[in-house]
Amino acid sequence: MGVYGMSRYNFLEVEPKWRDAWEKGASFSASEDAGREKYYVLEMFPYPSGRIHMGHVRNYTLGDVVARYKKARGYNVLHPMGWDAFGLPAENAAMENNVHPAKWTRENIASMRDQLKTLGLSLDWAREIATCEPEYYKHEQKMFLDFLEAGLAYRKESWVNWDPVDQTVLANEQVIDGKGWRTGAVVEKRQLSQWFFKITEYAEDLLKALEELERWPNKVRLMQHNWIGRSEGARVRFKITGRDDELEVFTTRPDTLFGMSFCAIAANHPLAEELGRTNPELASFIAECNQMGTSEEAIEKAEKKGFDTGLTIEHPFIKDRVFKIYVANFVLMEYGTGAIFGCPAHDQRDLDFARKYELDVVPVVLPKGEDPKSFTIADDAYTGEGALFNSEFLDGLGVEAGISAVIERLEKLGSGNGTISYRLRDWGVSRQRYWGCPIPIVYCDDCGAVPVPAHELPVQLPEDIDFEAPGNPLDRHPSWKHVACPSCGKPGTRETDTFDTFVESSWYFARFCDANNDHQAFSRSSVDYWLPVDQYIGGIEHAVLHLLYSRFFNRALSQCGYMDLAEPFAGLFTQGMVCHETYRSDEGAWLFPNQVNRSDDGALSHVDTGAPVKIGRSEKMSKSRKNVVDPVDIVNGYGADTARIFMLSDSPPDRDLEWTESGVEGAWRFVNRLWRSIVDVDESAPIAALNSARPTSLSEAGTSIERLIHKSIAGVTDDLEKFHFNRAIARIRELTNSIFEVSGTDAEAAWLRRFGLETIIRLLNPMAPHLTEELWERLGHGDMLVATDWPSADESLVVEETVTVAVQVNGKLRAKINLPRDADSTTAEQTALADENVHRAIGEKEPRRIIVVPNRIVNVVI
RNA sequence: GCCCCUGUGGCGGAAUUGGUAGACGCGACGGAUUCAAAAUCCGUUUUCCUUACGGAAGUGCGAGUUCGAGUCUCGCUGGGGGCACCA
């Protein structure tokens, strides 16, 4: 008991008590049960950096609410947790602190697990996995072998983004503004032999299936749609003048073929490279293009440049006309065929290029209402609809009809065909790093790249490695890579590249179904039962890569017989970021929130020096800006449940959340008000005994409270189904306020208090599990709330008997009247017109029309 | 440049999807309690006019549809995000 007889929620005692009880009771252990409907809740697993942050707390709290709610609804819930444990930070730590990546990672896992456990999450820890352990990655190596056999994995020479600091290859998507996403180093282009997964094999299906993912945010579906980037068009093969070979281009506008005035190829197009070998000027132009990198910023700032190769091509339809081939800095080798034809009149970029090099601009699409004799192109290319002209056999056709006609003609002549092109490229998975899953391949001078036989798996990482030099420790290890060729027995060398860590996270959702299976990744029956994930929750930053790769793996694994599933994640929820105000000293140095004092008048000063502090806008919590609040401090200071309630209270979960100290205080006040109402029962406000019967009749006021309780059950249930957790909390607080207002010591009041408080506790349980278990027990219950069913509302009490109906005159609110529910129009009209205010508003005039919407509104039009 | 989302009190946000705008919380102000403070409790809190009853305006701005618009349509404007010489 505290001062003045008030007790406080003692989370230091209560929270561990219930976590122990849940563990002892194996409350969250999941097992397959064909007789029960399953529900698989998954949050994106964390990288084991060593400390949890507020983003984790938010993510896992959201998932936990879903998991606990679904469990109470009777589902057989699977809610697992693991560690995305391979990755570069472990190697960086190894270099900086001379600690082995495995040791560093395992210690981080241990401390993060402890921190996570204090949040009281309903996780089945028996299924915990860490992707860096051979027990996990050996199955991944087997999948790779199966992908190879199915033609879904292959090796090719390819241009890669080379990060000179990490000495590793980056995916296109990991290059941001020409710089490595982790190191910020300027990325170079290099050619390396790389392993690829054939994600493009499924491009069409990955695109089409997006339509079926109804429980995914539209935003994410749209992003994937754009990423896959399907475009219909044609490939056109031009004969190169005086040579035997052809130049193949891709175009989405074959209808404009008669408006062509040049061709352009990418700097690393095979033809450009060939010509560059004998032409030093061209070679230096190519070098210039390569230097530009794939950086969009560099490309944008650079002007459109071309280099005349001296070669020309012949037009398939126009006799005796040839067009120059340029090497151009704006043509990308990775898209289409790495070559284009330019039609300046109908493409802005081509027009700019044509003006620069004084090439013809021939319009071939005539906008409606223009005269073909006078229509010319000035500074703006015309990209709209119209009738084709200047185009021989196409004249008069529309754009779409023109496209089909050209394709038909090209196919007849054998100089082209209709085709579909995708922006999506195959997934390069080779990384020149130590701390990743080894790629199970042995290179042999005679046999080439030979897969390691399945029975020899896993290929394990060697423990004795050094990080003295940059680059890959596996490559310079004295003995590890030297092995006999599995095929012929001669000396060979292992592949020293390891997998991109996105590979591990592409199938972990399935491993959780059968996490302790030693001889296979997962049994068929386990994934048949548990998959797909019913609700996946994580950050929007994974909208494209992780989610697309997982969808690919799902298809590849199904093709290889591991499972039979259309999509891995039936429902997806993307949460917003956790933000906080930023603080800086006068000198501009960032300050942590706990270094800042706020005086009564709101002025900010430094805790130690008293110097004034400037307040900045709220931004995503990040170490660099120091605007971070450590979840451990919050859990130690207020308890996990207060943190959870605050996390869920104010902001809808898909929006950014502003972390405020006063908001946490507000949640803390609510927790204690509820606590005291049950623990410090005032004799003026008694609570009825456990299992007291409802009084046979209730007063009018009592009935309305009883109705409110049932309405709250229905409302909160609906909110939780729709992820409106902030509204659910608001409803619970509303009900709490009303129950606290119940006065009297009679049986009715006591019964209403018990029914109300028990309902509040049960509704709040998914959000504040420790607090509510304790209060449930203090209310006299012997069973645990975690094993109690979700309350159900009496539908007959959810709908009110009398309703308040608004009365408008000419659309303006003039009065509110009470009517029996579903009163007929005549009654509503008459009651409305009888109202004094309504009467005054109408005055002398005659109502022209009266609109009655039952139970809602009466609008008198005069 | 293209595409998507978004704009509601001092602040975070509600609003049964076209039917009573501002639930719930934060902050602020006033009061009770206290020697005082913290904690707690009770009020008030969109703006303007009015002593009051009540009235007027109000969901970024401007139009429109409708008996009725925060919600639908069009235009403008601010903010956020995605994609990008993608042929």
Instruction: Summarize pLDDT for A358-401 with one digit per residue, the tens.
Output: 888 989 988 877 888 888 887 778 887 888 998 989 998 888 88
- What is the structure's pLDDT at A88? 84
pLDDT of residue A5: 54
Taking 70 as the threshold, does the pLDDT of residue A293 lie above it?
no
pLDDT higher than 70, residue A294: no
Comparing every residue's Cα with the C1' atom of nucleotide B33, the nearest one is: A4
Nucleotide nearest to A333 (CA to C1'): B86
| Closest nucleotide to A649: CA versus each C1' | B25
Å: A811 CA to B65 C1': 15
Query: Is the model more confident about A288 or about A648?
Result: A648
Integer distance in angstroms from CA A734 to C1' B70?
23
The protein residue nearest nucleotide B25, judged by CA to C1', is A650
Distance A809 CA to B20 C1' (A): 13
Q: Which nucleotide is nearest to A422 if distance is taken from CA to C1'?
A: B86
Q: How far is the CA of A758 from the C1' of B85 (A)?
A: 64
Q: Global pTM?
A: 0.92
Query: 3-class DSSP state for residue A454?
Result: helix
> Angle at Cα A787 formed by Cα A783 and Cα A792, nearest 5°?
100
pLDDT at residue A593 in the model: 83
Measure, in angstroms, how far nucleotide B28 C1' is from residue A631 CA: 29
Q: Which residue is nearest to nucleotide B69 (CA to C1')?
A: A811
The residue lying closest to nucleotide B55, measuring its CA against C1', is A814
Residue range A341-350: mean pLDDT, rounded: 87
Question: For strand B, which nucleotides have at least one atom less than 7 Å from a protein CB?
Answer: 3-5, 11-16, 19-21, 23-27, 37-42, 54-57, 67-69, 81-87
Cα separation, A93 vs A434, in Å, equals: 13
pLDDT above 60 (res A298): no
Residue A296 predicted with pLDDT over 80? no
* Mean pLDDT within A2-24: 85
| Whether pLDDT at A3 is above 70 | no
Average pLDDT rounded to a whole number, residues A824-828: 88
Protein CA A306 to sugar C1' B73 (Å): 47
Tokens of A197: 């997964």
CA closest to C1' of B12 belongs to A650
A327 forms beta bridges with A265, A307
In the numeric block, the tokens 């790629």 are attached to A439
* Closest nucleotide relative to residue A218's CA, C1' based: B4
Most confident region among A521-525, A803-807, A856-860 by mean pLDDT: A521-525
* Mean pLDDT within A172-193: 68
pLDDT score of A300: 46
CA of A223 and C1' of B8: distance in angstroms?
29
By C1' distance from the Cα of A656, the closest nucleotide is B12
Report the nucleotide nearest the CA of residue A254, measured to C1': B87
Name the one residue in this structure whose structure tokens are 């950096």: A49
Nucleotide B70 C1' to residue A862 CA (A)? 26
Q: Quickly give A853 CA vs B17 C1' distance in Å.
A: 16
In this complex, the nucleotide whose C1' atom is nearest to the CA atom of residue A229 is B86
Q: For residue A351, what are its two tokens?
A: 């027009």
Strands A857-861 and A849-853: antiparallel
The DSSP code for A344 is G
Confidence of residue A170 (pLDDT cuts 50, 70, 90): low
> Gap from A203 CA to B13 C1', in Å?
41
Q: Please name the amino acid found at residue A257.
A: L
Q: Residue A338: which nucleotide is closest by CA–C1'?
A: B87
Q: Using the C1' atom of nucleotide B84, identify the protein residue whose alpha carbon is closest.
A: A296
Q: Identify nearest nucleotide to residue A253 by CA to C1′ distance.
A: B87
Evaluate if residue A234 carries a pLDDT over 70: yes
Q: Which range, of A124-128, A578-582, A791-795, averages the lowest pLDDT? A: A578-582
Average pLDDT over residues A845-853: 86
On average, the pLDDT of chain A sits at 89
* Mean pLDDT value across residues A749-763: 96
User: Under DSSP, is residue A303 helix (H, G, I), strand (E, B) or coil?
Assistant: coil
Distance A297 CA to B5 C1' (A): 25
CA of A217 to C1' of B81 (A): 14
The spacing between the Cα labelled CA in A812 and the C1' in B57, in angstroms, equals 13
Q: Is the pLDDT of residue A143 over 50?
A: yes
Contact A645, A671 (CB under 8 A): yes
Interface ipTM:
0.93
Closest nucleotide to A722: CA versus each C1': B16
- The Cα-based distances of A570 to A62, A67, A94, A554, A556 in angstroms read 17, 15, 39, 12, 18
pLDDT for residue A564: 96
Radius of gyration for the alpha carbons in chain A, expressed in angstroms and rounded: 34
Nucleotide nearest to A543 (CA to C1'): B82
Q: Could you write out the DSSP letters of every residue in A220-276?
A: HHHHHHHHH-EEEEEEEEEEETTSS-EEEEEES-GGGGGG--EEEE-TTSHHHHHHH
Could you report the per-residue pLDDT of A183-202, keeping only the tens digit for each? 777 777 777 888 999 999 99
**Res A458 pLDDT > 90:** yes
The pLDDT-based confidence of A302 (bands split at 50, 70, 90) is: low
Over the range A827-851, which residues count as b (16 or more CB within 10 Å of their CB) and which as e?
A: ebbebbeebeebeebbeeeeeeeee
Beta-carbon neighbour count of residue A791 at 10 Å? Answer: 19
Round and report the angstrom distance from CA (A843) to C1' (B69): 26
Residue with smallest Cα–C1' gap to B85:
A330
For residue A342, count CB atoms less than 10 angstroms from its CB and return exposed for 0-12, middle for 13-18, buried for 19 or more.
Answer: buried
The DSSP H or E segment spanning A64 is: helix A54-72
What residue is closest to B5 (Cα–C1')? A219
For residue range A562-618, list pLDDT tens digits in order: 999 999 999 999 998 888 888 888 777 888 888 887 766 667 778 778 788 887 777
Q: What's the whole-number mean pLDDT along residues A460-464?
A: 92
Nucleotide nearest to A353 (CA to C1'): B85
Residue A566 and residue A209 in contact, taking contact as beta carbons nearer than 8 Å: yes
**Distance from CA(A617) to C1'(B78), angstroms, rounded:** 17
Q: How far, in Å, is the CA of A61 from the C1' of nucleotide B18?
A: 36
Q: What would the two tokens of residue A594 be?
A: 């706990």
At A1 the pLDDT is 36
- For residue A678, the surrounding DSSP H or E stretch is helix A661-679
A663 pLDDT exceeds 80? yes
Q: Give the pLDDT confidence score for residue A368 in this predicted structure.
A: 78
